[in-house]
Structure 1
Amino acid sequence: MGRGVETRELLRAVLERQPLFELLESNSASLAEVQAELDVSRSTAHRVVKQFESAGLISYQEGRYELTPLGYMVAEEIRGATKTVAVAQRLSPLLPTLSEEAEPFDFTAFADSEVATPEAGDPYRPIRRLILKINQVTALQELSPTIPEPAYLQSLFDRVQDELCASVVFSRWVVNRLQKSDKVALEEAISTGSLDVRIDDPVGFRLIIADDCVYLIGYNDDASRLRLVVDAHSADAYDWANTYFRKRWDEATPYEEEYEDAIQ
């Protein structure tokens, strides 16, 4: 049997017995404690620890089992991979567009995020959370491939008249539509100096950074229907989002350059 096959079988066994490794990461354990953690017979518990002992992942010292340095490393890698896969499953509608971006996406940063999806008869439920958030924050950064919902857009325009400072990157198509439908409100908001708009090629998802909260919003292929809103509060999520936003912001064209006569 080749080494690659042996390694895959060992990883499969570790994944199957992950509760054992979680137990031993925090402390050593007796055979009885291993048996209770795995909820198996004593003979099965003994066979399991012997398997990992022979693989060099577990050692037996003074009547108790503990992880070896190799065991700690394998346990950490398995835990990280499990978390990444779990996050990827929750964010699956966003994966096609995230995978196309040059900035690597940090899945683990969104491990504790909340995911909201439209409900039958209430397709804008996730967006109402965003509107509530906008009415509370003082700083906002946004990348949007589509025209924001009317209620969201109105809240944005109203809040920059007050104490919100916002930096927004819209696609050229979105700005052209706003020029037709909300030109006066848009340019009044920009004229306050608290709304800075730039124009760039559209991204495949919507990103909003509201103070230290990060929102990823996924749409269908033509960005006409909302599919999910991801709400993350970790420092790592903020760092990833801020880095990605600043890169797109620096590449975008200021609104005033695109529409030289728009702002007087």
Structure 2
Amino acid sequence: MGYDWGTQLFSSPHRLELLRELRSNPADTQALTDALSSSRVTIQRHLNRSSELGWVRKVDGRYELTPLGEHVCAATTAFVDRLSVLQTHEAVIDSLAAIDPSFDPLLLTDATVSVADSNNPHEPIIHYRRAMNETTTESIRGILPVFSELLVEVHRDMLADGVDTELIAPRSVLESAPEDAPHSSQFSLYVLDRPISFGLTLTDDAAFVGTYDDGTFVACIESSERTFREWASDIYDRYREQAVGVSLEAPVGENRSAQSGRDTVD
């Protein structure tokens, strides 16, 4: 039955549009004809079929959705919206699922996604650097999966401007970094003894996720939506709980003291 109903809805783009229009306001045939820019004959045919299926009823000369029609419209709209997000952001879905298998693609609905391609191979880092330069955040929490001079430069400048910074990185990244690590009470560093395949930054009002391909920054996902930020914050907290704090008084490879990942760095 579900397949049959789907066939009824998707065999013509006007049918779902009709249900959506009636979901907003009951209307007569002429009003629907004007709103949907279709012929009156076509609209009436769709109304008749929808009435036969129990989705629409006529009350005092105007058509309205039945309770069943409301549910059909809501379920179909959610399905179409999810497909639209998947199609729009297909380049990053696999990478986000690798970070979190339960990731809901609808979290990308209002996200800005910058993807590298042959014409703009540096678009993700350009987007990220621009966003960081424009932010007015007072704090940063981040995951740095690979050493990048540009990323380090961006966050070094923000730290110099007084932005509280907490950073998680694999030990291999810290060992390959220059020795002039910043020494500041506003900078906390945490290390994991395993690789990390993605980057993440949390500001006061936005979240950024970076996806990588063989160490190359290939996509930057930015969103200020609450649900996306909550998801990104949860991911960060998972890694933060597994990381250990690192003293910045000695090089990583020379017995820097480690402490519990739940502690702060002196």
TM-score (ref. length: structure 1): 0.82
State the Cα deviation string for residues 151-172 of structure 1 (Å, max 9, x = none): 3311212322331112222123
Mapped contact 1:133–1:210 kept (Cα < 8 A): no
Structure 2 residue corresponding to 1:88, chosen from 83, 86, 89: 86
Q: Deviations over 1:174-204 (max 9, x none)?
A: 22221xxx122x2xx2x31322222233343
Give the 3-state SS of the residue equivalent to 1:60 in structure 2.
strand
Q: Is the 1:94–1:205 Cα contact (8 Å) retained in structure 2?
A: no
Tell me by how many angstroms 1:112 deviates.
1.4
Of 231, 234, 251, the match for 1:240: 231
Percent of aligned positions that are identical: 20
Cα distance change on mapping 1:138 and 1:262 into 2, 3 Å: same
Q: Which secondary structure state, in structure 1, belongs to the residue aligned with residue 78 of structure 2?
A: helix
Task: Give the conservation status (yes or no) of the 8 Å contact 1:214–1:232.
Answer: yes
Structure 1 counterpart of 2:261: none
Residues in 2 aligned to 1:204 and 1:96: alpha-carbon distance in whole angstroms = 12
* Distance of aligned partners of 1:207 and 1:16 in 2 relative to their CA distance in 1, 3 Å threshold: farther
Aligned to 1:138: 138
8 Å CA contact retained: 1:161, 1:194: no
- The 1:237–1:55 alpha-carbon spacing in structure 2 relative to 1, beyond 3 Å, is same
1:36-92 deviation line (CA, Å, top 9, x unaligned): 333332222111011111212111111111112222222222222222222222332
Shift of 1:173: 2.5
Query: What is the alpha-carbon distance in structure 1 between the residues aligned to residue 72 and residue 3 of structure 2?
Result: 16
C-alpha distance in 2 between matches for 1:183 and 1:194? 18
Aligned amino acid, residue 25 of structure 2: N
1:1-264 aligned at under 5 Å gives the runs: 3-13=1-11, 17-102=15-100, 104-118=102-116, 123-135=121-133, 136=135, 137-148=137-148, 150-178=149-177, 182-184=178-180, 186=181, 189=182, 191-200=183-192, 201-220=194-213, 222-224=214-216, 226-256=217-247, 261-262=255-256
1:170 match: secondary structure: strand
Over the aligned positions, Cα root-mean-square deviation in angstroms equals: 2.7
Is the contact between residue 19 and residue 37 of structure 1 (CA under 8 Å) also seen in structure 2? no
Partners of 2:172 and 2:41 in 1: CA distance: 67
Greater relative contact order (CA < 8 Å, ≥ 6 in sequence): 1
Structure 2 CA distance for aligned equivalents of residues 7 and 122 of structure 1: 43
Q: Specify whether residues 78 and 255 from structure 1 end up closer, same or farther in structure 2 by C-alpha distance, changes over 3 A only.
A: farther
Shift of 1:105: 1.5
* Structure 1 unaligned spans of 5+: none
Give the SS at the match of 1:229. strand
Structure 1 stretch displaced more, 117-126 or 88-97: 117-126
Go from structure 1 to structure 2 and tell me whether the alpha carbon gap of 1:24 and 1:202 turns closer, same or farther (over 3 Å shift). farther
Question: How far does residue 111 in structure 1 lie from its aligned partner after superposition?
Answer: 0.7
TM-score by length of 2: 0.82
Judge which range, 112-121 or 157-166, deviates more.
Answer: 112-121
Query: Greater CA deviation, 248-257 or 43-52?
Result: 248-257
